Amino acid sequence: MSVATPPGVALTDAKRVDLDAIEAELARLWRTPGTDDGPAATRACTSNLIVFCASRAEAEACERDIPEIVRQHPARVLLLVADPEAASALEASVSAFCTPAGRGAHFCSEYVVLRAGGDAAQRLPSAVRPLLVGDLPTTLWWTPSDRSPPDSGKLFAQLDAMADHVVYESRGWRDPVDAIVATTRWAADAPTGKAISDLAWRRLEAWRRLVACALDPGVVPGALQRIREVTVEHGPHALPKAWMFVAWLAGRLGWRPVRGLLAAGPEIGWGFASPSGPVEVRVRRHAAGEAELERVVIHWSGAGSAATRTFERLGPERLGVVGDASGERPAVVATLEGARPALVARALPARGGHSLFREALEAARRMAGVLER
Amino acid sequence: MRERDDSNPLAAGLSQALLPQPCSLVIFGGSGDLAKRKLLPALYNLALDGVLPANFAVVGIGRREFDDDIFRGVVREGVESFSRRPLDSNHWPDFERALFFHRGSVDDAGSYAELKARLEKIEATCGVPGNRVFYLSIPPDRFRTCVEQLQAAGLVTPPAGPGPFTRIIVEKPIGHDLASAREVNETLARVFDERQIFRIDHYLGKETVQNILVMRFANAIFEPLWNQKYIDHVQLTVAEEEGVGTRAGYYDGAGALRDMVQNHILQLLCHVAMEPPWSLDADVVRDHKLEVIQCLRPVNGGDVDTCVVRAQYAGGFHRGEAVPGYRQEEGVRRDSTTETYVALQVFIDNWRWAGVPFYLRTGKRLPKRASEIAVHFKDVPQILFNRDRDAPLASNVLALRIQPDEGLSLRISAKLPGPQVQVYPVKMDFQYGSTFGDQSPEAYERLLLDVMAGDATLFMRRDAVEASWEWIEPIVDSWERSGARWLPEYDAGAWGPVEADRLMESTGRRWRTL
């Protein structure tokens, strides 16, 4: 297996070392006064970041993302690559990513790559454990996205046990229903204080903000309490995201799912009981497009009035409120959430908001519980 | 820092607990320098972060012969020159469409009627439900005319009850003495309720200033030591390396005490010295800050001479370049006795701080731009490692760097490696830039968003403004009575006059080198 020099501003070329020589090599990096004609570099580390990749292709994608992640959140990065097709061996390389900090200074994050071929992957946790910097939070970014992390076996369980925070992405789950149930159970059993972040949930923040602002009691008094219908349209592979969006509404507004139907075709429907009456929700998949929410239509009525708000994805990084009460033209907000490195970097320091995510996850589980297939 | 708004359960977990409301931001002085350099780039960055309300409009008002397109071009130039992030061509058109210009004069009643009509059209176009924020980026002597005309034109709505809101933002200086500050406040109060008034001190929007309270109250280790038993003294420094520049017209009538101490420095002092609030509610926090000002020992009469030093910069060198003295600067009176430097020794007379001197200093043409709060702890007993009276240990110092190199450091003593026990001061350092890689929002971004959300925590309340003037005035009065025809000088590029050094040295202390 080749040892690629990480992209971005690398302090030195990646150097292959024995596993028991990793710390010594890292220490040597900081004793060496910079590169030949470069300035001295300062180690910056606010956390441990374990990144697990289940294939070479995923590892290459992560190696492109990591420089931007550590630019925003300096960390000791431990990239674990499980390559089932390679010969059984565990190899390590050491380098650092550096970010210019002005006046010739660089702040650098340590970067250790552990590549495990074949069944050597089961040795990865034992290699990782001594490399974690003490007294700092540890985040596990579990990149495989075909199934939920807790369904991923013993290797995940061992890495999970080391982490204060697990980041994953539900976009791409092959069986969203089972995956949501498994994830909720895992989240419920997690120790107090453990943080869990779904990047797909984070991608929803712009939608949540847009809907929260548009339906704020200061803008449309009483609307939140009188919602009767919600329609969510999404692109392929975005069902978990749409599901979590509905779960967010249900959790926040006190809706209890009473029935659900997964019809043949692209639509799922739920009926909820809310404090003020029934709420019907439809989630529809578009045949083509990006793995994003495309449109949300919320209708409310009661007390002698009715109104609808339509929220649309108007293009890359642009959401808008269209039609009724948006004014004479769509009201548009920017969303800079798209790129994965930025999402991960913003997730890393987050400590608050996890109770909200768990609330939504629990609501999603209840929705799964009433679903007839 | 704000409490959750439980009236909107959907707001929970968003980066703000109080959501900004759809509104129009009307900037009087919209074609001026502050708007171009600070306000509009701040709004642009808020738009880029997706935190501005979707339904939003900016209306700049001024006498220049601008139309919407020219104004948008000027704003674009401002964003390109002064925004902390480059112009994003993907998002610029959406932001640009929300910008409008209304040509008018503060003094012309007709302008306000036209403004009202124009606003109604803009709000219909942009889907804004009539909420308005008026930003008075105009000289304070125009405030009265402006707010009275706003009211006369029906542009001000009452604070309570349903219906759109009206808020007003004013910048410091709020008056130039107590009487004028009261007059400004009365002028505003005749038209607006206190809840509608947002007095900006942009220092309060700085991340590092907000971090003072986080550091004190989100960590268990500092508060037990944060009192007169453990702290020897505190130094607050706001140093500017520039001269008076183009501000002579204002500055020569104000001086360092009014320009910096009355607002920025006293606010920093409040953050350092306040009691822990029992809530992050705006008025609870502001009540606790007000108490600091109320506990300040008055400085009057003979105390002014012993506790306050003022001076002017003389010609000197700034980073190797010769620069003129203050009275040689363009626009400054040749016989000016306006201070460009002031240093004070102040005391807060309460249980927590009794006997602890706070040294405040600020000046222009100092060696570098730096704002810092340095908490000096008491010396360890003269035993053990501190028994050599000829070589006392350096005391522990917790330094909060407001700008630049935002962060904080703690000076401690450590043993030098080797067979002897030699103790040496070392610094443990936290730097915002290397720890949190992304750029912090600018102060105005935070402040403008808070106004739109109706959160007044970071804004000065009327009573605090007047209390700080009340404390400042005896010093100013004493100076005026003294009839001094010249002030002590310091060379441009030096850290201030020798008199300031003596102020500290007389107590056995020294100014920190920043």
pLDDT tens sequence across B35-93:
999 999 999 999 998 899 889 999 999 999 999 999 999 999 999 999 999 999 989 99
H-helix or E-strand spanning residue B58: strand B56-62
Sheet containing A277-285, strands listed edge to edge, beginning at the edge strand earlier in sequence? A331-334, A318-322, A305-315, A293-302, A227-234, A277-285, A267-274, A256-262, A371-372
Return d(Cα B42, Cα B137) in angstroms, integer: 15
Return d(Cα A364, Cα A341) in angstroms, integer: 26
Residue A129 pLDDT exceeds 80? yes
Question: Which amino acid would we find at residue A253?
Answer: L
- Please state whether B103 falls in left (phi above 0), alpha (psi between -120 and 50) or beta: beta
pLDDT tens sequence across A250-283:
999 999 999 999 876 789 999 999 999 999 999 9
Which residue of B3, B4, B5, B8 is the best one to mutate when testing the A interface, meaning the one whose CB has the most A CBs within 10 A?
B8
CA distance A219 to chain B (A): 8
Please report which confidence band the pLDDT of residue B3 belongs to, taking 50, 70 and 90 as the band edges: very low
Q: Which of B489, B476, B472, B201 is nearest to B340 (CA)?
A: B489
**pLDDT (0 to 100) of residue A5:** 42
Q: What is the mean pLDDT of residues A96-121?
A: 84
Return d(Cα A170, Cα A183) in angstroms, integer: 10
Return d(Cα B356, Cα B233) in angstroms, integer: 5
H-helix or E-strand spanning residue B71: helix B68-82
The model carries a pTM of: 0.85
Q: Which residues of B touch A98 (CB under 8 A)?
A: none
Please report which confidence band the pLDDT of residue A219 belongs to, taking 50, 70 and 90 as the band edges: confident
Contact B55 A327 (CB under 8 A): yes
**pLDDT (0 to 100) of residue A339:** 82
H-helix or E-strand spanning residue B400: strand B397-403
Mean predicted lDDT score pLDDT of chain A: 86
Contact B14 A349 (CB under 8 A): no
**pLDDT (0 to 100) of residue A208:** 94
Nearest to B21 among A99, A219, A325 (CB): A219
CA distance B4 to chain A (A): 13
CA distance A52 to chain B (A): 23
Return d(Cα B426, Cα B412) in angstroms, integer: 6
CA distance B412 to chain A (A): 20
Nearest to B434 among A44, A327, A333 (CB): A44
Q: Which of B324, B404, B304 is nearest to B365 (CA)?
A: B324
Q: What is the mean pLDDT of residues B201-207?
A: 88
Chain B residue with minimum CA distance to A67 = B437
Q: Which residues of B touch A352 (CB under 8 A)?
A: 13
Contact B55 A326 (CB under 8 A): yes
Q: What is the 3-state secondary structure (H, E, C) of chain A?
A: CCCCCCCCEECCCCEEECHHHHHHHHHHHHHCCCCCCCCCEEECCCCEEEEEECCHHHHHHHHHHHHHHHHHCCCEEEEEEEECCCCCEEEEEEEEEEEECCCCCEEEEEEEEEEEEHHHHHHHHHHHHHHCCCCCCEEEEECCCCCCHHHHCHHHHHHHHHCCEEEECCCCCCCHHHHHHHHHHHHHHCCCCCEEEEHHHHHCHHHHHHHHHHCCCCCCCCCHHHEEEEEEEECCCCHHHHHHHHHHHHHHHCCEEEEEEECCCCEEEEEEEECCEEEEEEEEECCCCCCCEEEEEEEEEECCEEEEEEEEEEECCEEEEECCCCCCCCEEEECCCCCHHHHHHHHCCCCCCHHHHHHHHHHHHHHHHCEEC
Give the count of Cβ contacts less than 8 A between chain A and B. Answer: 131
**pLDDT (0 to 100) of residue B100:** 97
Contact B12 A356 (CB under 8 A): yes
**Structure tokens given for A229:** 């219908």
Contact B126 A331 (CB under 8 A): yes
Q: Which residues of B touch A329 (CB under 8 A)?
A: 97, 125-126
φ/ψ of residue B296, rounded to 5 = -60, 130
Return d(Cα B474, Cα B298) in angstroms, integer: 8
Contact B437 A224 (CB under 8 A): no
Contact B10 A212 (CB under 8 A): yes
Contact B7 A217 (CB under 8 A): yes
Residue A1 pLDDT exceeds 50? no
- Checking ipTM against 0.95, whether it exceeds it is no
Chain B residue with minimum CA distance to A223 = B8
Residue recorded with tokens 């008055």:
B298
3-class secondary-structure state, position B421: coil
Nearest to B50 among A211, A329, A333 (CB): A333
**pLDDT (0 to 100) of residue A158:** 92
Question: Which amino acid would we find at residue B456?
Answer: A
Q: Which residues of A touch B10 (CB under 8 A)?
A: 208, 211-212, 215-216, 224, 249, 252-253
Do the beta carbons of residue B69 and residue B36 sit within 8 Å? Answer: no
Catalytic residues of B: 264
| A333 to A74, A278, B77, B89, B307: CA distances (angstroms) | 29, 31, 22, 14, 53
Name the H helices within B83-108.
92-96
Chain A residue with minimum CA distance to B123 = A327
CA distance B161 to chain A (A): 11
Nearest to A332 among B7, B14, B54 (CB): B54
**Structure tokens given for A128:** 């990782």
pLDDT tens sequence across A146-198:
899 999 999 999 999 999 899 999 988 888 888 988 998 898 888 877 889 99
- For the stretch A68-71, contacts whose Cβ atoms lie closer than 8 Å and that sit 24 or more positions apart, written own/partner, are A68/A8, A68/A339, A68/A341, A68/A342, A68/A345, A69/A341, A69/A344, A69/A345, A69/A348, A70/A97, A70/A99, A70/A109, A70/A111, A70/B437, A71/A8, A71/A97, A71/A99, A71/A345, A71/B437
Chain A residue with minimum CA distance to B440 = A72
Contact B127 A321 (CB under 8 A): yes
Cβ contacts of A320 within 8 Å, gap of 6 or more: A311, A312, A314, A326, A330, A331, A332, A333, B54
Return d(Cα B503, Cα B306) in angstroms, integer: 8
Please report which confidence band the pLDDT of residue A338 belongs to, taking 50, 70 and 90 as the band edges: low
pLDDT tens sequence across B207-239:
889 889 999 999 999 999 999 999 999 999 999
Contact A99 B48 (CB under 8 A): no
The angle at the Cα of B461, spanning B457 to B466, to the nearest 5 degrees, equals 150
Q: Which residues of A touch B54 (CB under 8 A)?
A: 210, 213-214, 319-321, 326, 331-333
**pLDDT (0 to 100) of residue B150:** 96
Chain B residue with minimum CA distance to A106 = B434
**pLDDT (0 to 100) of residue B299:** 96
Do the beta carbons of residue B370 and residue B351 sit within 8 Å? Answer: no
H-helix or E-strand spanning residue B169: strand B166-171
pLDDT tens sequence across A112-123:
999 999 888 989
CA distance A344 to chain B (A): 13
Contact A318 B8 (CB under 8 A): no
Q: What is the mean pLDDT of residues A204-230?
A: 91
**pLDDT (0 to 100) of residue B42:** 96
Do the beta carbons of residue A241 and residue B43 sit within 8 Å? Answer: no
Contact B8 A217 (CB under 8 A): yes
Please report which confidence band the pLDDT of residue B118 belongs to, taking 50, 70 and 90 as the band edges: very high
**pLDDT (0 to 100) of residue A265:** 72
Residue A353 pLDDT exceeds 60? no
**Distance, CA of A59 to chain centre:** 17
| Lowest mean pLDDT across A215-224, B117-126, B417-426 | B417-426
CA distance A264 to chain B (A): 32
Nearest to B50 among A218, A224, A334 (CB): A334
